């Protein structure tokens, strides 16, 4: 399906599939717009057909042009900061970046201006896009790799739903201490807060359901480390770090969960791939994030051969 950006609007030409459907049916079925957002669009007349405001009971005809007002400027408090961004994928609706280590995803206060979101705010401003940068998911400060942002509120609502329905698949690689003997496995253990530590999580029967799949990619007996590929069926805070520690194989460098400190290095965790069916264009999107953490350097050939396909 072809979408055209026209100033603050996006436009789609109606195909045979939506002929004779009402505007309301089209918006619900084609766009899967959440009820609250749908109500807002109705009240604020943010939908037009052939550049005219019409009743939502109007039946669409093939080759009609439907316009949605999506890029309305927003006031936000995210300070712009000139940060070099590693753009992996971009279209009029979303932006996927390769986040470096030692960088927060978003500010924890108005005074913090060196986060990835501050950099995205500046990037949007350069594009004359005056909307708040919204990350669909987040990565820990010391986790690198692919992270997804949206460019306007409707895209945010649609991709948030995609994530909630587990239709966004995120794949990670990690280096863990010790040699994992089993080639593949699933860790299913609920995760809750550790009442003895303000930021740490722990496996807890009363915690939230959490499931991690792992696949051993390389066993380094010389360094007593295992390179593991992981995918998540849930997205709990510190999930991979908690689960691998629970398995008896904490991440290299992850001192919070039992890993050994590596001088000048952080935890060896990288979001290597993100795949999904685009919530707006319906296209299959698969993006890989090259690994720059030096801890993974000895395994780059394995990563390129078996993971960065």
Task: Please list the active-site residues.
Answer: 140
DSSP state of 62: T
Name the token pair of 101: 């280590």
Q: How far apart are CA 191 and CA 175, in angstroms?
A: 21
CA-nearest of 214, 211, 190 to 202 is 190
Question: Whole-angstrom Cα distance, residue 182 to residue 23?
Answer: 54
Cβ proximity of 65 and 9 under 8 Å: no
CB under 8 Å to 45, separation ≥6 — which residues?
53
Is residue 165 within 8 Å of residue 48, measured between CB atoms? no
Write b or e for each residue in 168-177: b if 16 or more Cβ atoms lie within 10 A of its Cβ, otherwise e: bebbbbbbbb
The span from the CA of 17 to the CA of 230, in Å, is 39
């Amino acid at each position: 399906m072809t979408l055209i950006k026209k100033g603050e609007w996006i436009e789609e030409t109606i195909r045979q599939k939506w002929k004779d459907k009402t505007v309301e049916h089209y918006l619900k079925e084609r766009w899967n717009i959440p009820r609250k957002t749908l109500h807002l669009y109705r009240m604020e007349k943010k939908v037009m057909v052939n550049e005219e405001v019409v009743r939502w009971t109007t039946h669409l005809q093939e080759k009609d042009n439907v316009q949605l007002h999506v890029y309305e400027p927003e006031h936000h408090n995210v300070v712009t900061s000139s940060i070099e961004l590693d753009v992996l994928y971009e279209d009029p609706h979303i932006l996927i970046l390769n986040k470096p280590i030692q960088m927060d995803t978003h500010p924890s206060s108005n005074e913090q201006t060196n986060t990835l979101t501050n950099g995205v705010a500046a990037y949007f401003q350069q594009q004359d896009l005056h909307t708040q940068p919204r990350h669909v998911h987040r990565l820990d400060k010391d986790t690198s790799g692919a992270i997804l942002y949206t460019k306007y509120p409707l895209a945010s609502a649609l991709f948030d739903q995609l994530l909630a329905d587990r239709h966004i698949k995120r794949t990670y690689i990690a280096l863990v201490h010790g040699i994992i003997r089993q080639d593949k496995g699933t860790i299913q253990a609920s995760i809750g807060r550790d009442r003895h530590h303000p930021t740490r999580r722990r496996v807890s029967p009363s915690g939230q359901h959490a499931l991690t799949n792992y696949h051993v990619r390389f066993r380094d007996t010389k360094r007593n480390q295992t390179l593991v590929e992981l995918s998540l069926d849930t997205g709990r805070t510190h999930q991979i770090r908690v689960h691998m520690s629970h398995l008896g194989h904490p991440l290299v460098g992850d001192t919070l969960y039992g890993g050994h400190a590596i001088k000048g290095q952080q935890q060896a965790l990288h979001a290597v791939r993100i795949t999904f069916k685009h919530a707006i264009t319906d296209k299959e999107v698969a993006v890989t994030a090259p690994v720059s953490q030096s801890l993974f350097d000895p395994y780059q050939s394995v990563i390129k051969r078996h993971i960065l396909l």
